[in-house]
Amino acid sequence: MEKQSIYGLTIEELTAWFLENGEKKFRAAQVWEWLYIKRVRDFSEMTNLSKNLIAKLTTQFMINPLKQMVVQEASDGTVKYLFELPDKNMIETVLMRQEYGLSVCVTTQVGCNIGCTFCASGLLKKNRDLTAGEIVAQIMMVQHYFDERQKGERVSHVVVMGIGEPFDNYDNVMNFLHIINEAKGLAIGARHITVSTSGLANKIKEFANNGLQVNLAISLHAPNNEIRTSIMRINRRFPIEKLMDAVDEYLEKTNRRITFEYIMLNQVNDRPQHAQQLADLLKDKKKLTYVNLIPYNPVSEHDQYTRSTKADVLKFYDVLKKNGVNCVIRKEHGTDIDAACGQLRSKQMKKHIFE
């Protein structure tokens, strides 16, 4: 059987493991420091542990389950990584350079079952969920990449917007969030982490109670059920009313802002009346919400969609602004290497697998 990645353990779980193995509690803190502060890649480098303990750890765990297959760097500093998992599945991780720091976009599943009609990830049916360790390892791979450059750059922000629906892999994603947020380790601030969901209303309610101050983004993409159902199948199960019900509960419980993502699809959801409907939908929660207008990244398999014109995007933006809705037009990253976050190019993936 494949060994478990030690990256998948929370500090509490690691402490419990040491206690169960007749070791002192402080050993967990030591190992944690080796993993996340000194960032060694092999148990044998943990020089303040006994040989016996290193052997025990090595028998039980592996450190990094990912193998780097391809790295592409764009002219704006965006880096796209293709990693291989122990079972030979491939996943993609993207690093974006922002004014405020290095931001990593992580993948949570191999493929996605939500099947949105504009998304390349949805083309690959879900093969399996990623473990917490495999999600943490994506951050570590990127951090190691920067450690090697020796400029002291640190991953400071994380967006859970890669392949997969994070709330369809809820427990592993929650453990991942705890691990990267842990103050004694990577200490990535909760406010620097954003989880994006296609709108699993039941999980949004659960997320409201989880105690972490992590940001929530919801892929809304349409102002009414008719359009939303036609582009996002999940809207049958959780129509806009149910989604907004969960949103209200979340806002009330957490008092934290929610971002609504809205991909601009030419002639589909980008008319001024759609902007008005969207503004009406958000009118009683303008203080705690904002809308992110996202340029559509053409996916060759979904050629029914094209990008909205600049003029239409600006018109849409104006209607929202006039209605007092907070709104930004999202900047693109890494377009020359096709690194749009949340968008696995299945074509490219096949190419890498079969080459």
Q: Which residues are catalytic?
A: 92, 341
Question: Given the complex with ligand SAH, which of 64 and 297 has the nearer CB atom?
Answer: 297
Question: Given the complex with ligand SAH, which of 261 and 270 has the nearer CB atom?
Answer: 261
> In Å, how far are 200, 255, 285 from 247, measured between CA atoms?
11, 11, 9
With tokens 């989604």, the residue in question is 243
**Euclidean distance between CA atoms 185 and 105, whole angstroms:** 19
Measured in residues, the chain has a length of 355
Residue 162, SS3? coil
- What is the torsional sign of CA 332, 336, 337, 338? positive
Q: For binding to ligand SF4 (CB under 6 A), which residues are involved?
A: 112, 114-116, 119, 121-122, 163-165, 198, 219
Question: Given the complex with ligand SAH, which of 136 and 294 has the nearer CB atom?
Answer: 294
**Euclidean distance between CA atoms 299 and 116, whole angstroms:** 12
**Euclidean distance between CA atoms 201 and 243, whole angstroms:** 5
Task: List binders of ligand SAH among 164-223 (CB under 6 A).
Answer: 165, 196-198, 219
12 among annotated binding-site residues: no
Partner from ligand SAH, ligand SF4, none binding residue 296, C-beta < 5-8 Å depending on class: ligand SAH
Extract the runs of DSSP E, i.e. beta strands, from 85-177.
Answer: 90-98, 101-105, 109-110, 128-129, 155-160
105 among annotated binding-site residues: no
- String of contacts with ligand SAH for each residue 240-269, x by CB under 6 A: ---------------------x-x------
Q: Are strands 193-197 and 155-160 parallel, antiparallel or unpaired?
A: parallel
Partner from ligand SAH, ligand SF4, none binding residue 115, C-beta < 5-8 Å depending on class: ligand SF4
Residues tagged in the binding site annotation for S-adenosyl-L-methionine = 164-165, 196, 219-221, 297
Residues tagged in the binding site annotation for [4Fe-4S] cluster = 112, 116, 119
List contacts with ligand SAH (CB under 6 A): 118-119, 161, 165, 196-198, 219, 261, 263, 294, 296-297, 299, 340, 342-343
Residues tagged in the binding site annotation = 112, 116, 119, 164-165, 196, 219-221, 297
